[in-house]
Amino acid sequence: MFDIGPFVFPIFSGVSEQGVFRVDKFLGAGFWIGKRGHFLTCKHVLAQIEPKQVAAIARLPFSSSAPYLRIVETVSSRRFDVAVGRAFVKSDVPVLPTYSGPIGLGLEIQAFGFADAGKEPGQYFLDLRLLRGHVTRLCQDSLGLETPSVMEVSFGSPSGFSGTPLLVDSAVVGMLHNNLETKIGHHSILDVTENGNRYKEDAYRVYEYGAAHMMHELSDFIEDACNSLGKN
């Protein structure tokens, strides 16, 4: 069984008091892209940080008593929902390989994310969640999303999955950032009142599909962002 723990992590906001990070809110996910603490996530994940707050990474296996890694700087894309950050690490971190094979409909993929399992004063509880499916659509248009193009997958991206890598086996092919919806007619109800007015109510079943950036389309931004961020 593939151990995702060293590679993917939850991101939290909170306050730092006398060198101790006190967690406030679970923001989303991220994953390492550079051995010296560079990571990738969604811009909207980091945008949730409130004034006077800081952000930090929790290492897996997650526990509220585990030490957090302080995020020291970030760079967000102006056009796309993607951001690169740098965390303070004392030693090299492991990095997943980037997928280099063909991308087509039916490509089997998987994603690990985090389910919010509740909060108590000073403590946050998360469960690791695994989703598996396949690529359902490749669209060169952005479809109104902040992305160069859209790779749609057969499962939705639940809360806690924004910023997590989309994997082919253990290689990164993309990053989840949003959802797309489609609907099919379920049933219709025609109501006729006493005065002859007619009202029709249509009910639809809504399906959600995850939307992901493709890694090869982010490579220029990632390289520029990593070069602009400092080193430990």
Task: Report the number of distinct structural domains present in the chain.
Answer: 2
**Span 157-198, pLDDT tens digits:** 999 999 999 999 999 999 999 999 887 766 666 565 667 676
**pLDDT the model gives residue 199:** 66
What local confidence, expressed as pLDDT, does residue 31 receive?
97
| Residues 67 and 139 reside in one and the same domain | no
Residue 51 predicted with pLDDT over 60: yes
Instruction: Give the 3-state secondary structure of residue 218.
Output: helix
| pLDDT exceeds 90 at position 219 | yes
pLDDT at site 7: 95
> Are 114 and 176 part of one and the same domain?
yes
Residue pLDDT, tens place only, 108-127? 999 999 988 877 766 778 88
Judged by DSSP in three states, 215 sits in: helix
Parent domain of 48? 8-95+220-228
Q: Are residues 74 and 131 in the same domain?
A: no
CB 84 within 8 A of CB 222: yes
Give pLDDT, residue 153. 98
- Which of 93, 127, 134 is CA-nearest to residue 112? 127
